[in-house]
Amino acid sequence: MLGEEPLWCPFGVEQYNIRLTQGTPPNRLEAHMSQTRDHWSSNTGLVLAATGSAIGLGNLWKFPYITWVNDGGAFVLVYLICIAAVGLPIMMAELLIGRRSQKSAVGALKDAAGPAWGLIGGWGVTAGFILLSYYTVIAGWSLFYFAKTVSWTFGSFPEGMVAGDLFNDQVSSAPLQLGLSLAFSAATIGVVYFGVSKGIERVARVFLPILFGILILMLISALGMSGSGEALTFIFRPNFTELEPSSVLEAVGHSFFTLSLGMGAMITYGSYISRKQSVVKASGAIVALDTIIALFATIIMFSVIFSVTGMQQQVDAGEVGAVGMLFVALPELFYTQVPFGVVLGPLFYVLVALAALTSTISLLEVVTSYLIDERGLGRHKATIVSGVAIFVFTIFAALSFTGTPFFSTLEVFQGKAGWFSTADHFVSNWMLPIGGLGITIAVGWFMTRKASESELVDGTEPKWFNYGVWRFFVRFIAPAAVLAIILFVILGRDFS
């Protein structure tokens, strides 16, 4: 055993051997744990799984909507800057402390910055728990629309159907909402149960290529529509006179959500990286793919909207909100306006479901890995315990729009009725920004320079990477941007 290279060892092979020679029980345990930890089978596996976490409802649902509300062009440019200046450095920070410690959020933050920082990890685990409880409900809607669009494809499109009524009928049906979210939760639990390489990575390897394929098909179809030119101009021609300061903060906030940052998901995924894999390269790939997909989704949706007379006005008038774009306007438009819509309609909801599933998996993994690493549970037990506990709250979220007394009326924040809106308000405004701030401060200010440098500059990094620049952004730019969000929230701004 001595002299043999361990599969993976967080403190280097020489250290590993010295520790084994000394043979103190905790070190043996540590060495044992690091050997048995499940890892991504390759860099591609890591990039696909982490990109799967990042690409989700945030890209397909939230980004197009906030781009619309913030008048396109200039907002998109600001968003791209935020992704590069805030998102990318924090992505590297999260992955690096995961890889270094080979522990999930709580343990990784404790190792990086000191025992007290475990609290920020715990905050992240709680955020993952709460976010998953209502994210599953929206994901469940994609299953409903998939079934509906398939039935239209094989039957016929119900002429005269009011799309808004269809949506309202489904969200107000308690059995349907419970059934859909139960199905989605069960699928999520089923994947996480099998672990990192056999569950999460396998699913990502199959689903992500399908997701990219569907999106490219849709993009081609959308670019052929009459409104595509106008859509591209709207998205890519900046007009700074329309940009408000709060739009900038909305862009920062969204860059956290879309990249799955601020709650330990990327720390957890980073803890399954082996020494041979580069944190910097993986971060660059994940961030680039997530951004491209968000832009593709926006081009597709806006091409449809600009091609249909009267649609733009309806969206502007607020008749079609964030939910409406994806679940009210699009299903009908697919069938009536989009070339090959009868095929693309169901495929689009497959896309939404797959994107959502690879995100819910990562959220459940944050909580499950906490139970495994910090509470000593086995993977199977940890998955079931966390999955079932979260589902109890999903029941609350699923019943939020059904008119059921208490479930639909509970109001903690003014104007936010039901667990769904309450949780969304709390996670988006408070939990993600505070978690993100904590992580940047822990890595930028409390982790030693030597430690972070040795993780990022280890011979695997690409030529464009400059450690000093990264450190500057993590220490100053990212915390300042997140602090600004928190200040605005304190002053009453709502980013949910």
Answer for which of 136, 188, 362, 386 binds ligand PFF (CB under 6 A) is: 362
Select from 154-162, 237-245, 254-262, 454-462 the region that touches ligand PFF (CB under 6 A). Answer: 254-262
Instruction: Please enumerate in sequence order all residues whose Cβ is within 8 A of that of 94, keeping only pairs 6 or more positions apart, or say none.
Output: 261, 264, 265, 266, 267, 270, 439
204 binds ligand PFF (CB under 6 A): no
Select from 66-74, 357-365, 462-470, 483-491 the region that touches ligand PFF (CB under 6 A). Answer: 357-365
121 binds ligand PFF (CB under 6 A): no
Residues in the chain: 496
Q: What are residue 436's phi and psi, to 5 degrees?
A: -65, -40
Residue whose C-beta lies closest to ligand PFF? 58
The tokens describing 58, both together, are 């945030």
**What is the Cα–Cα distance from 248 to 82, expressed in whole angstroms?**
8
Question: Please, where are the H alpha helices in 155-227?
Answer: 163-171, 174-193, 201-223
Residue 462 CB burial class (10 angstroms; 0-12, 13-18, ≥19): exposed
Answer for which of 70, 149, 260, 368 binds ligand PFF (CB under 6 A) is: 260
271 binds ligand PFF (CB under 6 A): no
Select from 36-44, 106-114, 341-349, 355-363 the region that touches ligand PFF (CB under 6 A). Answer: 355-363
106 binds ligand PFF (CB under 6 A): no
CB 350 within 8 A of CB 324: no
User: 43-54 vs 201-223: helix axis angle to the nearest 10?
Assistant: 60
258 binds ligand PFF (CB under 6 A): yes
The tokens describing 98, both together, are 């995961």
Residue 417 DSSP SS3: strand
Answer for which of 40, 117, 167, 257 binds ligand PFF (CB under 6 A) is: 257
265 binds ligand PFF (CB under 6 A): yes
Nearer to ligand PFF, 178 or 286 (CB): 286
Select from 234-242, 252-260, 311-319, 389-397 the region that touches ligand PFF (CB under 6 A). Answer: 252-260
Find, among 307, 361, 295, the residue nearest to 333 by Cα: 307
Write out the binding residues for ligand PFF, residues 126-145 only, by CB under 6 A.
128
Q: What minimum distance in Å lies between the beta carbon of 60 and ligand PFF?
A: 8
Nearer to ligand PFF, 227 or 433 (CB): 433
Q: How many residues bind ligand PFF (CB under 6 A)?
A: 15
255 binds ligand PFF (CB under 6 A): no
Find, among 59, 135, 142, the residue nearest to 347 by Cα: 142
**Which residues of this chain interact with ligand PFF, rule CB under 6 A?**
53-54, 56-59, 128, 257-258, 260, 263, 265, 359, 362-363
